[in-house]
Amino acid sequence: MTETKVGNFSAQSAASGVDQALQPGTKIGEYQIERELGRGGMGAVYAARHPIIGKRVAIKVLDASFSRDGALVQRFLDEARAVNKIGHPNIIDVFSFGQLPDGRQYFVMEFLEGETMAAWLGRGRPDIAEARRLLLQVCEALEAAHREGIIHRDLKPENLWIARPKHGEPFMKVLDFGIAKLVEPEAATNITKTGTIMGTPQYMSPEQCTGRGVDHRTDVYSLGVIMFQIFCGRLPFDDGSVAEIMSAHLTKAPPRPGEFAAISPGMESLLLSCLDKNPANRPASAAELGLRLKDAAVVGGVVTAMQAPFRRTDEASAATKKGFATGLPTLLAGSEETKGEVPKKHIRLVLVSAAVVVAAFGLWLALRGGKAQVTAPVESPPQSATTPALVPPTMPEPPPVKVEAAGSDREPTPTPAVSHPVRPSARPRPAKNVDTVTPVKGKPSRAARQGLIQENPF
């Protein structure tokens, strides 16, 4: 691969007024361009690689015409600053920034294998359970951005990247904070200089169409449009010109989702609340939207149960800190809980568990029915440290016959033999409660008989 210096085409690009694409081998900073990944309204994105360690990156280059606009350059810089301020794993990471010799601005970001959500939806109706898992990750990323005072303002399937790594399951990355609004006094004036009516018409909130009162709930509206597209297979407003679409967001009620897909009333209520014209009637935060979406039970591609639509702001705030996109409930476990009540599914689970325990105990008693008589354990004799080998019992030898003295006329009388065998393991046991030290009263001890001690007469 030959290296092409950026300066070779900078003069030609400036003279023609048309940006020249970066050719393979062009060196930008520490990286060499491999190919162009895509092109948007404000620039192009290239795949590049470090020539020594082989690390792959993506380089976003702002067009020369926009690079001469100070406000747009500042917005380009704000994108790199915003994603690093958020620092969330579901948001693209930007780690370098610079300027080409022809004046074009660029920044270097992580390279991701995969596809956009737009390409994923273009292949037909997606798997609802997988879409639900990815949408929860988008909610977590948006909540993290909103906590840092950053509003995306251009959410659409083209800016949601489904990363497919070599190892592990696919995950979501939110891209393109290029028109993100920093909710800070010094940043607000910078945005309004170039106008606030920016975004993609099909996904813009009513307040974004008018350019007034934009806050974090505009991202909730845009994500609601994306959810409507996923669950219903179409956009709520997609007919006519750009002006007609924006007018529909402002004045026209969205169609009922149940007209386009088999969807539960609870899920339909969630989608319509996200698309409400009044921001106060939408989910109060991306975290609350994520919790309500998480509680939906999906069976066979159809949402069958849904969380009751009440405010869960405090719960959403606490759940977001530990990540609510993890630990998804079982798909068959529908949610019927309401605020301040114990979920019925938990009560059913406890009753079923108790019935199983009782049945198991009854079976155990039935199996032990023939062994109802309980005998006391037999106390075994103390064993020595080393257990001797067992020897089969043998009959004891008869005792010797006593022979009378010589000259006696009587016949010798043999001692009768024992009629039962003696077990060699039987050992004499001492009598209980017998003091073996104190001598028996009336009999002098051996020491007394030998004159060593004097017995106490009392």
What CATH number corresponds to the domain at position 98?
Answer: 3.30.200.20
Residue 154 among the catalytic residues: yes
For the chain (458 residues), the mean pLDDT of every run of 10, in chain order, is 38 49 91 90 90 93 86 81 88 89 90 93 89 94 93 92 91 83 44 51 92 90 95 90 92 91 86 95 94 66 37 55 48 38 65 85 76 50 48 54 48 51 52 48 64 59
Give the pairing type, strands 27-28 and 31-39: antiparallel
Whether 326 is covered by a domain: the verdict is yes
Taking a C-beta distance cutoff of 8 angstroms, is the pair 106, 188 a contact?
no
Q: Are 164 and 236 part of one and the same domain?
A: yes
Whether 219 is covered by a domain: the verdict is yes
Q: Are 224 and 246 part of one and the same domain?
A: yes
For residues 188 and 215, what is the distance between their CA atoms, to the nearest angstrom?
12
> What domain range includes position 76?
17-110
Q: Which of 306, 336, 366 is the last residue of a domain?
A: 336
- Residue 215: closest CA among 159, 155, 153: 153
CB neighbours of residue 68 within 10 Å: 11
What CATH number corresponds to the domain at position 205?
Answer: 1.10.510.10
For residues 154 and 180, what is the distance between their CA atoms, to the nearest angstrom?
8
Whether 1 is covered by a domain: the verdict is no
Q: Are 105 and 149 part of one and the same domain?
A: no
Q: Are 166 and 88 part of one and the same domain?
A: no
- Residue 184: closest CA among 148, 158, 211: 148
Whether 235 is covered by a domain: the verdict is yes
- Selecting among 78, 154, 176, 219, the annotated active-site residue is 154
Distances (CA, A) of 390 to 135, 295, 421, 424, 426: 75, 70, 16, 10, 13
Using a cut of 0.75, tell me whether the model's pTM lies above it.
Answer: no
Domain tally, the chain: 2
Instruction: Tell me the H-state helices in 176-312.
Output: 185-192, 206-210, 217-232, 242-251, 265-274, 286-294
Q: What is the pLDDT of residue 48?
A: 96
Q: What is the pLDDT of residue 155?
A: 94
